[in-house]
């Protein structure tokens, strides 16, 4: 009898998985399994009415590939041996993923004689960077005591570089007298060195420096709670200490800057460090839709063809005379801001009206992270300019 090859392709939401089963040749006069022992539905195999039966024994049922990067592929071969007295058949019976596309199985199943084996090859390609990977494929058999075998593929999806802290680096309240310093760690469990070529930031008030970490520092500063590349936690191979220093001359109000760290890893990976905080001072914005922590004004949703106006208040301390405020570069944005005196005071603060207008125009939608920046030039003795952000949805 000719060799039989069963081919099945499985596409997961997180991986592409293909399963191939090779059946060994028959030897000797072993009773064949009747064609009536075909699938129940499309997957299950019917157990023969009488023996002798085959016995399905898998040499292993789980394979841990360790760690792979996004886009990497791999494969592994599982072996099913017939240790019974009669012939054995196998057939793919499904996967652990509920969003799979199955290919056709062909040709028809054939008998595996006693002593022969079937090889089950599982292939995968990592398509989503989930920290942990655990999928399984099922094979049905005609072994009455082992009708179903499950083969598991486990491991983790790693990335070349890890930054601690992840995401945004929060500065808190920035000092107007001393440099604010933030420190982090950049490490890798995949590469042996992290060459950093340069750091870029639009603000000249932000300085970034780095230096290599010793093995002892890596052991102490690489947190076990950070995403590691496999179920068996893997130590960092190398790391860099990252220091960000912010000059005290930053403007009163919200502080948002982006640092781009250019590395020589994987053809020039670039990491983003988002800096966020505020510098308190003698000027505060208050009113409907105002977040005083970051000077964000939320105008909400309104018709684009009509635009919208809103009014908030500005409280100013430590100023002799009246405040003069001029919007810088208004042509670069859509929002218009006018500041006028109310003639009122509140405690030691002078109160000003701040009229914010989004003129009629095309539909535009912002969000908190990409709100429109407005900069006001002031005549205040200690606050030369004030930044505020406006979030709106002109439909």
CA angle 237, 240, 246 (to 5 degrees): 160
- Give the whole-angstrom CA distance, residue 79 versus residue 144: 19
Q: What pLDDT, on a 0 to 100 scale, did the predictor assign at position 225?
A: 41
Three-state DSSP state, 65: strand
Cβ neighbours of residue 112 closer than 8 Å, sequence gap 6 or more: 23, 24, 26, 54, 80, 82, 87, 88, 89, 90, 118
In DSSP terms, 238 is beta-bridged to 188
Q: What pLDDT, on a 0 to 100 scale, did the predictor assign at position 97?
A: 54
CATH no. of 4-158: 2.60.40.10
Q: What pLDDT, on a 0 to 100 scale, did the predictor assign at position 218?
A: 84
Which stretches of the chain drop beneath a pLDDT of 50? 1-16, 18, 20-42, 98-108, 223-232
Contact 375, 336 (CB under 8 A): no
- Give the whole-angstrom CA distance, residue 282 versus residue 252: 8
Q: 283-394: same fold as 162-279?
A: yes
**Cα separation of the two ends of the chain:** 70
Quote the pTM value: 0.63
- Give the whole-angstrom CA distance, residue 101 versus residue 249: 59
- Give the whole-angstrom CA distance, residue 322 versus residue 320: 7
The CATH T-level fold of domain 283-394 is: Immunoglobulin-like (2.60.40)
- Give the whole-angstrom CA distance, residue 276 versus residue 172: 8
The H or E element that residue 218 is part of is: helix 215-221
Q: What pLDDT, on a 0 to 100 scale, did the predictor assign at position 96?
A: 61
- Give the whole-angstrom CA distance, residue 335 versus residue 297: 11
- Give the whole-angstrom CA distance, residue 74 versus residue 126: 9
Residue whose entry in the numeric block shows the structure tokens 């060799």: 3
In DSSP terms, 162 is beta-bridged to 187
The ranges assigned to domains in the chain are 4-158, 162-279, 283-394
- Give the whole-angstrom CA distance, residue 254 versus residue 257: 10
- Give the whole-angstrom CA distance, residue 125 versus residue 263: 26
- The per-residue pLDDT for range 36-91, each reduced to its tens digit, is 343 333 468 889 988 899 999 999 999 998 878 877 888 888 888 999 999 998 88
- Give the whole-angstrom CA distance, residue 356 versus residue 329: 15
Contact 386, 255 (CB under 8 A): no
Reported residue count of the chain is 395
- The per-residue pLDDT for range 85-109, each reduced to its tens digit, is 999 988 877 666 532 333 333 334 6
**Closest of 6, 177, 201 to residue 90, by C-alpha:** 6
CATH no. of 162-279: 2.60.40.10
Q: What pLDDT, on a 0 to 100 scale, did the predictor assign at position 211?
A: 96
């Amino acid at each position: 009898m000719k060799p039989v090859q069963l081919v099945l392709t499985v596409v997961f939401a997180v991986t592409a998985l293909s399963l191939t089963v090779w059946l060994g040749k028959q030897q000797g006069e072993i009773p064949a399994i009747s064609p009536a022992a075909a699938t129940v539905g499309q997957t299950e195999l019917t157990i023969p009415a009488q023996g002798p039966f085959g016995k399905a024994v898998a040499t292993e049922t789980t394979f841990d590939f360790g760690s792979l990067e996004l886009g990497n592929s791999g494969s592994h071969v599982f072996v099913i041996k017939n240790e019974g007295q009669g012939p054995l058949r196998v057939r793919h019976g499904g996967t652990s993923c509920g969003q799979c596309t199955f290919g056709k199985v062909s040709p028809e199943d054939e008998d595996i004689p006693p002593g022969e084996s079937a090889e089950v090859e599982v292939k995968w390609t990592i398509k989503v960077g989930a920290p942990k990977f655990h999928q399984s494929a099922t094979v049905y058999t005609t072994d009455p005591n082992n009708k179903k075998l499950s083969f598991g593929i486990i491991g983790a999806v790693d990335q070349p570089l890890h930054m601690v802290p992840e995401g945004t680096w929060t500065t808190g309240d920035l000092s107007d007298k001393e440099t604010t310093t933030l420190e982090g760690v950049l490490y890798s469990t995949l590469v042996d060195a992290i060459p950093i070529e340069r750091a870029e930031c639009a603000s000249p008030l932000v300085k970034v420096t780095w230096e290599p970490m010793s093995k002892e520092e890596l052991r102490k500063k690489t947190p076990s709670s950070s995403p590691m590349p496999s179920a068996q936690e893997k130590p960092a191979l190398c790391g860099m200490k990252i220091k960000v220093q912010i000059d005290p001359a930053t403007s009163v109000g919200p502080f948002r800057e982006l640092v781009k760290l250019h590395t020589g890893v994987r053809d020039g990976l670039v990491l983003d460090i988002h800096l966020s905080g505020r510098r308190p001072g003698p000027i505060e914005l208050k009113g409907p839709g105002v977040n005083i922590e970051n000077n964000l004004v939320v105008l909400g949703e309104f018709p684009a063809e009509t635009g919208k106006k809103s009014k908030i208040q500005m409280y100013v301390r430590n100023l002799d005379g009246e405040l003069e405020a001029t919007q810088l570069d208004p042509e670069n944005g859509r929002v218009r801001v006018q500041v006028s005196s109310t003639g009122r005071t509140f405690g030691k603060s002078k109160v000003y009206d701040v009229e914010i207008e989004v003129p009629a125009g095309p539909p535009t939608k912002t969000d908190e992270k990409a709100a429109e920046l407005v900069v006001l030039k002031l005549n205040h003795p200690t606050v030369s300019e004030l930044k505020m952000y406006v979030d709106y949805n002109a439909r």
